[in-house]
Structure 1
Amino acid sequence: MDSTLREFLRQGNTVISNLVLKNYKKLGMTDTEFILYLQLNSYLQKGETFPELENIAKSLQISVNDVYTQLHNLIEKKILKIETIVNQQGQKTDSYSFDFLYQKLDSLIDEEKKELLNVSAEKDRQKIFNAFQVEFGRDLSPIELEMINDWIEEDKYKTDLILLALREAVLSQAYNLKYIDRILL
């Protein structure tokens, strides 16, 4: 094994979540701030919780002042925080923490899930309206639209159940929402 390969292995790897990689822009980070996050993360993974800014500046080939500015930006954006940790001997040490970043990421994922659910619910609603209009052979009146909305919103009937009730009504040749309401009950 040559010395370059040994040095490569000795340096280790920095693990980064694909979720952070995919969403750092949505979290409000610039490319430079993201690279700083990667640098800090590499130190944290090695167990160095508060690395010297000079070392980071040297790695990034920028000034210490620029590193400080980027750190300040991350703190202002509520992505990074500096915590003071007291050990068992009562000694205080500072540490970088990305807890805020992970909280923001969690909120972002929740928002995306809600958005997907809303889109899915709207598609289901449209599917129901279209099915009624096709089976009734006409546009639905505002009162009919409201009644169907009540089934979805208030009564929490599933799309499939409403469509099955519609099918049963059509087979009985009863094109009436009150009849379908009785079926659903």
Structure 2
Amino acid sequence: MNKSHMLRWLNEGSVSIPKMLFQYYKRVGITEEECMLLLQVYTFAESGNYFPTPEELAERMTYSSETCMEILRRLMQKGVLTIDEHQDMEKGYYSETYSLLALWEKLLLVSEPKQEKNVLSTETNLYSIFETEFGRPLSPIECETLAMWIDQDQHPSSLIQAALKEGVLSGKMNFRYIDRILFEWKKNGIQTVEQAREYGEKFRKYQSRTKSSSDPEPKKKVTYPFYNWLEQS
């Protein structure tokens, strides 16, 4: 090899890839194509580009930018790739970066295969349930929100599904409404579906009595099956 070429090659540097990624990516539920895209995101970050575009990723891969976007969405849906937001209040600067922290955490957790398998299965099922109810793939922001409910807010899967059901039956199919339900439940110490059901019944009874007392004339009995959580202070 030409000496100048060798020096150029060495000057490009190298990337240190955790061995655990190659050992356990299958257990985390990542495919080979997803793993390769993660490696590209990782190498971009090593070079100082923490938020490569699908077009930039596609230039290094055999996939189109549209396919890269779809793979990114799947990785965020699986909870192994997240988007961090950064803002400099003084300079008015706002930026976004990809984070692989969730991936490293999941790789560490696979040392307990049974527990990790159950966690991953729960998360995957939740994403599928939401996409089925919404009738479309979840957006990256929605995937981030769902991951936050699970990992950061520690909402039980059963309560997340119960909140989704409340949203579906009340005709309010959006994450803001569901997030508000979960917020109210957590604020009031609701930890089980049964407690959530009892809590909702109390509000419905209260709302029904308030409505009846405000009516000047007797009317046909009206039931209010769902509480508008967005109006709760």
Same-fold call, TM cutoff 0.5: yes
**Does 1:36 find its partner at 2:37?**
yes
**Does 1:57 find its partner at 2:58?**
yes
Alignment correspondent of 1:99: 101
TM-score (norm 1): 0.56
Measure, in 2, the Cα distance between the counterparts of 1:10 and 1:52: 25
Measure, in 1, the Cα distance between the counterparts of 2:77 and 2:61: 21
Give the root-mean-square deviation of aligned CA atoms.
2.2
Amino acid corresponding to residue 6 of structure 1 in structure 2: L
- Aligned ranges for residues 101-120 of structure 1 at < 5 Å? 101-111=103-113
Alignment correspondent of 2:21: 20
Amino acid corresponding to residue 102 of structure 1 in structure 2: W
Measure, in 1, the Cα distance between the counterparts of 2:18 and 2:92: 34
Aligned residues: 114
TM-score (norm 2): 0.45
- Aligned ranges for residues 74-153 of structure 1 at < 5 Å? 74-87=75-88, 89-111=91-113
| Closer, same or farther: CA 9–81 of 1 in aligned 2, 3 Å | same
Measure, in 2, the Cα distance between the counterparts of 1:26 and 1:55: 28
Offset of residue 83 of structure 1: 1.2
Measure, in 2, the Cα distance between the counterparts of 1:99 and 1:80: 8
Offset of residue 6 of structure 1: 3.0
Measure, in 2, the Cα distance between the counterparts of 1:71 and 1:6: 34
Offset of residue 112 of structure 1: 7.6
Q: Which piece of structure 1 moves more, 63-72 or 1-10?
A: 1-10
Measure, in 2, the Cα distance between the counterparts of 1:112 and 1:103: 16
Offset of residue 77 of structure 1: 0.5
Offset of residue 34 of structure 1: 0.4
Measure, in 1, the Cα distance between the counterparts of 2:9 and 2:94: 34
Q: Give 5+ residue unaligned stretches, structure 1.
A: 114-185
Amino acid corresponding to residue 92 of structure 1 in structure 2: Y
Other structure's SS at 2:84 match: strand
| Closer, same or farther: CA 104–12 of 1 in aligned 2, 3 Å | same
String of CA shifts for 1:37-83, please: whole Å, max 9, x gaps. Answer: 11010011122111232221011122000100110110000000111
